[in-house]
Amino acid sequence: MATFAGSRTLKELLEEYEWELPTSFIDVVFLLLLYFTLTMKFHTLEQRMEAYLPNKGPGSDERPPIKPELEIQVATAGPASGAPVFQVGTWTTADPNALAAKMAQLERTCPKYYQVVINGAQGCPFKHVMAALDACARAGITKVDFRPPPAADGSAA
């Protein structure tokens, strides 16, 4: 065993002396512990999906570039099942992973060619629309537009 202060061993030194932690040190450690625990929890609990709406505000002259639209129709299979139905043209699936693969394939074939528009059925749960948006994000498509709800008279807004 290593010796210190002449011939005394480390064990003898530790027995003879005691550590006194300053109160401010304990304060800071507790505060840091609290801070990191709580911020980590917030990050895990809630996140966000970004979406960028084309600028169509009043008085705005800016218009999005004209691109062919690729519409993803989102609906529910039936009121009893609640399962989603995603439709791109004539292609239909109920699996968000299959939709993501389809969108990735389209994006690889024609990068940035289409303006992807999500058209959710008005009564379908929001989670299905979010699944479609998530599938686009996984395929690398971040600029997604949303079909506006029909106006009260039945015409498109």
Partner 1 sequence: MRLLRRSTGLKDVSLQMTPMIDIVFLLVIFFLCTAEVCKLELDPAVTLPVAFRASPETGDHRLVVNVGRDGGIRVMSAAYAPGELRRLIAEEAARQPAPDGGTALAVKIRADADAPYRHVSEVMAACRDAGVRRLAFGASPGEESAGSGRDLR
Please give the residue ranges that form the binding site for partner 1 (CB under 8 A): 15-23, 25-27, 30-31, 34, 38, 42-60, 62, 74, 96-97, 100-101, 103-104, 107, 120-131, 133-134, 137-140, 146, 148-149, 157
Shortest distance in whole angstroms from residue 66 CB to partner 1:
18
CA dist., res. 26 & res. 21, Å (int) = 7
Shortest distance in whole angstroms from residue 19 CB to partner 1:
6
Q: Which of 91, 92, 103 is nearest to 133 (CA)?
A: 103
Instruction: Report residue 125 as tokens.
Output: 């749960």
Q: Which is nearer to partner 1, 7 or 23 (CB)?
A: 23
Q: Which of 80, 85, 90, 96 is nearest to 133 (CA)?
A: 96
Residues ≥6 apart with Cβ < 8 Å to 115: 64, 67, 68, 69, 70, 143, 145
Shortest distance in whole angstroms from residue 127 CB to partner 1:
4
Q: Which is nearer to partner 1, 62 or 68 (CB)?
A: 62
- Do 75 and 87 form a contact (C-beta atoms < 8 A)? yes
The residue written with tokens 């210190």 in the block is: 4
Shortest distance in whole angstroms from residue 24 CB to partner 1:
8
Backbone torsions φ then ψ of 88, nearest 5 degrees: -120, 105
Shortest distance in whole angstroms from residue 46 CB to partner 1:
6
